[in-house]
Structure 1
């Protein structure tokens, strides 16, 4: 395992300083992120289109699908964090990724047998969401063990680039597969990507299975200790609170996105897939810029600037109803993907730096739960209100909430204590 990385671009091992791209455990994490992103993008697009075009879901039904995907993360992430700090980490990651492949693969099998129903589809969304966010907490806890604190900013940027490079092909591939074979059979490709992800995780070092001190604590004590870390970091606390409002607005907009684009803007599947692909390309650019921008401006300033820009970008979605819908949705995905990625990398790095090594899972779980709580709320509220008021008024309100929440980052705050080592 690693001890301390060098200048954010390499990691120090027993053999000396090694660049991140030559450090085998980190390279495996990059491969896992590419496979995972392909699986998630294909699955998200196919499930949404299957609900809308195959099972006749309306605005609320489409929004409910997104909400059910995020709801397990909002409710179970703190418990996932406790679990991550108490059990062999590599073993947990292998089980989660393998289960994901089986769950997603159940949809095309049920469809082929003529037994696919909305409850099945929504059940897959719930279970898949729980597995996805458990994996997210586990990987956030694993990264500091792999690269050490000084390498976190560069490692988070590189992992984000790896993840989003997979997302570039995922939506386009998903759109092509849906067009060729239909949304249900396209999910076989999503399940295959998750199976490949499980192989990458299985190849991670056995040292990740070392039990930490949290194994001797009760679950309630573990949660309290994680909450104490968040309370003691003022800027992290501000980032989390602002992020909940940003997610509320963007969650409502995202829930309506497929329905709005296909039914109101009449975008064909290939154009819808292209907007997701452009978003992925923008996130790659954001990941490449995040490290340099955050080192130059500082983690806190990078979060402030990019949070505000991401909130403003949501207004481009309702603006698409005025004309040039495809072009404006592309512009939204570029702006939101670029600035939202820098915001995410900066906040994640701040979180990991202020968290002791043996508490990474608990803090990641608590932060993730708070951030995710408003996503299903925004999705359900957006879907319900859109069925009553229409898509555009709700999208305008969602954009206003996102922008105002991001603006709170500019309110005066005190600096965090020195990062924990």
Structure 2
């Protein structure tokens, strides 16, 4: 079986790519069900307080910030399909251990925290591996469309996952509902197992230490001015938006008086906007170029955060809906453009390392922003901190527009607005 889709072949007729789309749906469903059920299990069955519940969520992100660079080194050194199968199977077993422990009467808060950490490590390792796998499945010129389609598949699971998780928790209870999360990960394992064996082929590498391998990946990022600026700008954007997101529910409920159903509507609108963004990303980036798409959408996403504190001036629900639509659309196009850029500039044998380093930088600022934003809000109040968070996000996005030395165009953008080709 051919691993890479020919340029003239529809991606939807290319079996490996279709399998990756199915994997994204199954993975997203499993993650959404697991996140909801773990939190409810901690609160309702184990009596975990607000800090413990927040810590449970934070522990799922911490491994990504700390371990993604090492995951990138691993991805570049092992057989990729075998790694995908191992990671997804481990997720199914780890999540499945919770209902088994609950049935045996031995479930503890410590067990949930361990599951959160391990699942976080596995999830972000899988993310790096899949970013490295996609350039082996589609040609470089097809990466933009492929990333858009995969984002749409993943978002479809994010839309249905919470609703399905809520129904299962209501019918069965949080612990049994985790069996559905485990089953979704098991389906994911079968899908990646069906990927072509050609993904296991590795580029020849010298006998370098993990530290030297990390340095070589960092050298790629540093050598690409636009990629480097995208990553640093994205870290600042995540810092500001992370603080705003951490305050969003409390601010909307306590200061704006929004009801739970109204909050649910704002989140549903955001999910729909991300799907629309995934479908629009390819056309917009091809029209304007990857670099220009990233510049424009980063600026729009940063400016959109100001709509959250503006909601305190009136009409609250309409302004929050406008925020979710604007941020969902622009943020999705921005991320797809940056991921495509990253995949195009990274050498074939360094896809994992570059993806791991980029992911670590982008993830590290999210919990920092959330914790700092929460602490400052307790001292200064919500609106001043939200204004500061929006300013950080917008200024970070604006750095993409600063003058920069000229670079070559990439295959996606013959007009010269793209990034250097990895070839």
After TM superposition, the score normalised by the length of structure 1 is 0.88
CA distance in 2, matches of 1:297, 1:115: 57
CA distance in 2, matches of 1:144, 1:372: 23
CA distance in 2, matches of 1:52, 1:402: 33
Structure 1 unaligned regions, length at least 5: 5-10
Give CA-to-partner distance per residue, 1:84-142, whole Å, 9 cap, x none: 01001011111111111222333444455555444333332221111111001000000
- Do residues 12 (structure 1) and 29 (structure 2) align? no
- Residues 129 and 147 of structure 1, relative CA distance in 2, 3 Å threshold: same
Could you tell me which residue of structure 2 aligns to residue 67 of structure 1? 58
User: Which of 22, 27, 32 does residue 36 from structure 1 map onto?
Assistant: 27
Give CA-to-partner distance per residue, 1:343-401, whole Å, 9 cap, x none: 00100111111111111011111111111111121222234334555544443332222
CA distance in 1, matches of 2:38, 2:278: 27
Could you tell me which residue of structure 2 aligns to residue 86 of structure 1? 77
Higher mean Cα deviation, 258-267 or 179-188? 258-267
Counterparts of 1:371-386 in structure 2, within 5 Å, are 371-386=362-377
Give the deviation of 1:236 after TM superposition: 0.4
User: Which of 326, 333, 339 does residue 348 from structure 1 map onto?
Assistant: 339
For the Cα contact (< 8 Å) 1:168–1:278, is it kept in 2?
A: no
For the Cα contact (< 8 Å) 2:34–2:178, is it kept in 1?
A: yes
User: Which of 223, 228, 246 does residue 232 from structure 1 map onto?
Assistant: 223
Give the deviation of 1:50 after TM superposition: 4.8
- Residues 311 and 171 of structure 1, relative CA distance in 2, 3 Å threshold: farther
Give CA-to-partner distance per residue, 1:127-174, whole Å, 9 cap, x none: 111111100100000000000211111111111111112222112223
Could you tell me which residue of structure 2 aligns to residue 292 of structure 1? 283
For the Cα contact (< 8 Å) 2:244–2:389, is it kept in 1?
A: yes
- Do residues 420 (structure 1) and 412 (structure 2) align? no
User: SS at the partner of 2:6?
Assistant: strand
User: Which of 150, 161, 175 does residue 141 from structure 2 map onto?
Assistant: 150
Could you tell me which residue of structure 1 aligns to residue 412 of structure 2? none
Could you tell me which residue of structure 2 aligns to residue 104 of structure 1? 95
User: SS at the partner of 1:27?
Assistant: helix
User: Which of 45, 49, 54 does residue 57 from structure 1 map onto?
Assistant: 49
User: Which of 352, 357, 361 does residue 366 from structure 1 map onto?
Assistant: 357
- Residues 64 and 402 of structure 1, relative CA distance in 2, 3 Å threshold: farther
Give the deviation of 1:184 after TM superposition: 4.3
CA distance in 2, matches of 1:53, 1:255: 22
CA distance in 2, matches of 1:394, 1:61: 24
User: Which of 100, 115, 135 does residue 124 from structure 1 map onto?
Assistant: 115
After TM superposition, the score normalised by the length of structure 2 is 0.88
CA distance in 2, matches of 1:292, 1:103: 40
For the Cα contact (< 8 Å) 1:149–1:353, is it kept in 2?
A: yes
Could you tell me which residue of structure 1 aligns to residue 154 of structure 2? 163
CA root-mean-square deviation: 2.7
For the Cα contact (< 8 Å) 1:245–1:406, is it kept in 2?
A: yes
User: SS at the partner of 1:412?
Assistant: coil
- Residues 302 and 50 of structure 1, relative CA distance in 2, 3 Å threshold: farther
Higher mean Cα deviation, 297-306 or 48-57? 48-57
CA distance in 1, matches of 2:384, 2:44: 24
Higher mean Cα deviation, 129-138 or 404-413? 404-413
- Residues 193 and 360 of structure 1, relative CA distance in 2, 3 Å threshold: same
